[in-house]
Amino acid sequence: MNVSQSTQLDQLLDLLAEEVAKRLAARAQSSGTPSPGSRLANEGVERSQPPEIPPDAQPATAPSGPEEETAAEPEPGEQMLEPSPTPDRAPLPSHTAQLLGRLALGLLAVLVVINIPINRHGTTLATAMPDRRALVVRDGLVVKQEDEPEIYVYQDGRFRWISSLTAFERRGYTWEDVHIVDESFLNGYEIGPPIHVILKCHESPHIYRLEGDEKRWIVDIEAFEAEGYVWKDVEFVVCSYLRNLPDGETIPPGQGPPPQP
């Protein structure tokens, strides 16, 4: 604590002491009882008046020795007054407490609103609002451009389109991982090959690529390898799941109606 803070604290304590003394005096005056300060003052006046000496009384002869000062002893029944304790901290006014309460309720309401899902995917305002200044482009970053449905992930210096919700979920992504960016954000980056899910069922030899909600039949092994796929990319599902998916264009295109698994 510096000198200025100590001086301010002393001034505050003095003001509090004066206020306490004023209130005690006002309370004593309203009740008809003299305040301690006025009682002491009256006693001091009465003590200062010399007692009356009868005319025929002779003054006592003062001792010839040096005068000795004696400390005044308190009279019987007289009590020494102790200073009233100064309160450590004044209580907060009622309007200040009300204001703090309203601010706390308002903050709670804002937190509730921004965490309410705004669509069927569970996206909230807190996750939908872009934070472009804190965006760090690195492997695993998932972004979505404003007003566009496609979702991209950054891998090996390129952004790759995640072609289906199944591919999105099977790679462990959630909607909280998606960052909303400007429509021109991807213009400054290379776009890599899309990320697809390759599906097959045990009872059928056909292989399909899932894009959006459609399955695309890969007509043969040559087309499969030409797309850059290997056998470990294939995921097995039940045949009924594949049959319920609508058919898309074949790979390569123009190969007629696709066979069903």
pLDDT of residue 224: 94
Tell me which H or E stretch contains 180.
strand 178-181
**Which residues partner with 154 through β-bridges?**
159
What contacts 238, CB < 8 A, 6 or more positions away?
201
* Structure token digits, residue 44: 């001091």
- Percentages helix, strand, coil for the chain, rounded to the nearest 5? 35, 15, 45
pLDDT of residue 40: 45
Q: From CA 153, how far away is CA 195, in angstroms rounded?
A: 9
Q: Mean pLDDT for each 10-residue chunk of the chain (261 residues)?
A: 58 72 72 53 49 52 48 53 56 67 75 62 51 71 90 93 90 91 89 92 94 92 91 92 94 91 90
Q: Tell me if 81 sits within 8 A of 36, measured CB to CB.
A: yes
Please state at what angle helix 36-48 crosses helix 3-31, rounded to 10 degrees: 80
What are the extents of the domains in the chain? 125-191, 197-243
- Cα separation values, 98 from 31, 92, 104, 207, Å: 35, 10, 10, 67
pLDDT of residue 131: 47
| Residue among 172, 168, 181, 176 at smallest CA distance from 127 | 176
pLDDT of residue 66: 47
